[in-house]
Amino acid sequence: MTEARILRLNASGMPLEWLSWQEAVVLYARDVVVWSIGDQVRTVLGGWNRHTGLQSEISLPSIIASAGERFAKPRTTYPLTNRTLFARDGYLCMYCGKEFPEHKLTRDHILPRSRGGNDHWMNVVAACRRCNQHKGHRTVEASGLQLIATPYRPNQAEYLALVNSKRILADQMEFLSGQFSKNYRRPFSL
């Protein structure tokens, strides 16, 4: 089983990044966690207090907000990887509509690179090998294929859900989903 990640927010509640439990402990030790929500994902035991004889303990919730980045602006560009692209498109071929495992999908450029198309969120979709080979270096129209959904560039909350899609917890998804755009296609179920 893969270990749960902790969703880090700024003090205003804007999602920033995924943390390991070790990184979250550092924020607690630096005393910069201003609030937290969600289910407890881990308890970390520390050293023993010489005066009280008690061991220190930090309970880590699934979502923490840290000080110092109250007005952090959301990222405007997000790395485009096959993993996040396929998650964005729900592991469906955007031409035939069939679901495929990640290793059977390819990245297709709507406007082919050979015709000046760029490698960015709005010009790529997940495609099965068969549909991608059929389309080749032609445009969608010239190939006789049709897109089943419009490509979109994810916002910060959507991107964080996509990059952690295999390990996201229900309470984290609930928090992030309140910030999803109308374009978001749910690639996995809770």
Q: 6-10 and 55-66 as β-strands: parallel, antiparallel, unpaired?
A: parallel
Domain hosting residue 113, numbered range: 82-143
| Rounded Cα gap, residues 176 and 190, in angstroms | 13
Average confidence (pLDDT) per 10 residues, the chain, 190 residues: 83 92 93 94 90 91 85 72 94 96 97 94 97 96 95 93 89 94 63
- Same structural domain, 138 and 101: yes
What are phi and psi for residue 120, nearest 5 degrees?
A: -140, 165
For residue range 33-61, what is the model confidence (pLDDT) as tens digits? Answer: 999 999 999 999 888 989 999 988 999 99
Number of domains in the chain: 2
Please report whether residue 148 resides in a domain: no
Q: Write down the pLDDT at residue 189.
A: 40
DSSP lists the bridge partners of residue 19 as 6
Token duo for residue 123: 């010009």
| Rounded Cα gap, residues 36 and 13, in angstroms | 10
Burial of 92 per CB tally in 10 Å (0-12, 13-18, 19+): buried
Are 87 and 165 contacting, i.e. CB atoms less than 8 angstroms apart? yes
CATH number for the domain harbouring residue 100: 1.10.30.50
Residue 17: alpha-carbon gap to chain centroid: 9
Q: Write down the pLDDT at residue 1.
A: 47
Q: 124-128 and 15-19 as β-strands: parallel, antiparallel, unpaired?
A: unpaired
- Same structural domain, 5 and 57: yes
Please report whether residue 139 resides in a domain: yes
| Rounded Cα gap, residues 81 and 13, in angstroms | 26
pTM of the model: 0.82
* Cα–Cα separations (whole angstroms), residue 24 to 13, 67, 116: 16, 13, 44
Please report whether residue 149 resides in a domain: no
Token duo for residue 152: 């979109």
Q: Write down the pLDDT at residue 188.
A: 45
One-letter amino acid at 80 equals L
- Same structural domain, 133 and 163: no
| Rounded Cα gap, residues 134 and 63, in angstroms | 45
- Same structural domain, 63 and 89: no
